[in-house]
Amino acid sequence: EKLQALRSEFLRDEKNILAQNIVSTSNPQSACMNRGAYELNSGVFSHKLSDEGKPVCNQRASGRCWLFAALNAMRFEFSQSYLFFCDKIERANFFLHKILEVMEKNPDADPSDRLLGYLLTDPLQDGGQWGMVAGLVEKYGVLPKKCFPESFSSESSYRMNNMLSSKLRQFCRNLVNMSQKGTSKEDMLLEIEVYMEPIYRTFVWEYYDKSKAYKKIGPISPLDFYQSISSPYGIGSEAGAFCWQGLRCGAPWNACGGSPIIYNNQSIETLLSISAESIKDGSAVWCGLDMTMFQEGIMDLKLFDHELTFGTQFALGMGKADRLRYRDSAMGHAVTLTGVSLSEEGAPSKWRIENSWGKDFGQEGYLSMTSDWFREFGFEIVVKKDYVPQEIIDVFKMEPIVLPAWDPMGVLA
């Protein structure tokens, strides 16, 4: 009876019937698109980096956006698959040592333990953070893409991740059993060493410079190569992560002994202002977003009118803090900001984004984002500290709040 009453009430309004007919035969999000807002997005920006990467990269069926966005900011086509490979090795090693850490604290722990259960859920996920890619680059260096090209599994990581995760869970079971039998930490560390092998690699890179002259670098290690070009393309301590939610830190989640990931909490207006200064000076910005509300490469709060079609709000039905708290929103994608337009008052109004989904998405692979959209769905930026006031830099000296492993301010894919 209740369902019948609800149906009768629904059918009394002819607008509901029209909306039902439309969304039952098309994408519900597309059905809500505001054509006027779509047509206002010109794709023209008052300030734009002159050395944008072209063509736009494509992470394909993998969660490597954090790697692509970081390497895009370095303005040279380095190999994403090389760092992806290093990350898998480091992440497997980190997982096994994290299991050992859990068992040290509670030798009788089993998969029902919250942290152990969380670790087992997805031991080798693709997603990451700025601090994680910075740690990889500073440890392993970088390679030109031609020296370490894409493979099937780097472009479509699901099957590889499943196989490796299954193996890691077997290793975890072995370590749990060893702990419950009273095996010493030293013997368990030896067992982990059996599971892991060190990485050594050198390469030779041949290329033509702008004047078509032949050049050769190497044999050289990826780390030495990175250090030789790190002055103009630095990715380490001269950059800082500034976010909307908390001065917080957590483990890097992909490397043993790596530096913790630190978030410097600032207002969203500060993030927008700092990003604009960076781009106006010709420096790209690494950025973490929640990519739930967009269409046709446009991120604009006015682009969808859910109220008109459905009579209610969805993603904007809660404030930003509540969306994060109730798991309706989180940083899920990393991009590179390469352009900005300013209002008559000089405030940033819209942004050009270099994405990593290929040239067929958006405008030749580039997206357009309004500042209002960023206020709702933007969470983190990474910029050179040159563009940041000293009083904000000094916040890094404070004692941070340590985040649990399952906090929504986690990794991006």
Q: Active-site positions?
A: 65, 333, 355
Q: How many residues does the chain have?
A: 413
Task: For residue 405, give the amino acid letter.
Answer: A
Contacts of 35 (CB under 8 A, 6+ apart): none
Distance spanning both ends of the chain, measured CA to CA: 45
How far is the C-alpha of 336 from the C-alpha of 324, rounded, in Å? 22
SS3 265: strand
Residues 6+ apart with CB under 8 A from 362: 296, 297, 298, 353, 355, 368
CA distance 100 to 194: 15
Amino acid at 342: L
DSSP-assigned letters across all residues of 294-363: -BTTEE-GGGB-HHHHHSS-SGGGS-HHHHHHTTS----EEEEEEEEEE-TTS-EEEEEEE-SB-TTSTB
The label of the residue with tokens 């209610």 reads 312
Q: Report whether 259 contacts 131 (CB < 8 A).
A: yes
* Type of residue at 119: L
Strands 366-370 vs 298-299: parallel, antiparallel or unpaired: parallel
The Cα–Cα gap between 11 and 398 comes to: 59
Residues 6+ apart with CB under 8 A from 30: 295
Shortest CA distance to 157 belongs to which of 71, 86, 63, 65? 63
User: What is the Cα–Cα distance from 236 to 151, expressed in whole angstroms?
Assistant: 28
Q: Distance between CA 238 and CA 388 in Å, rounded? A: 11
Cα–Cα distance, 268 to 316 (Å, whole number): 17
Name 289's Cβ contacts closer than 8 Å, sequence gap at least 6.
299, 331, 332, 333, 334, 335, 374, 377, 378, 379
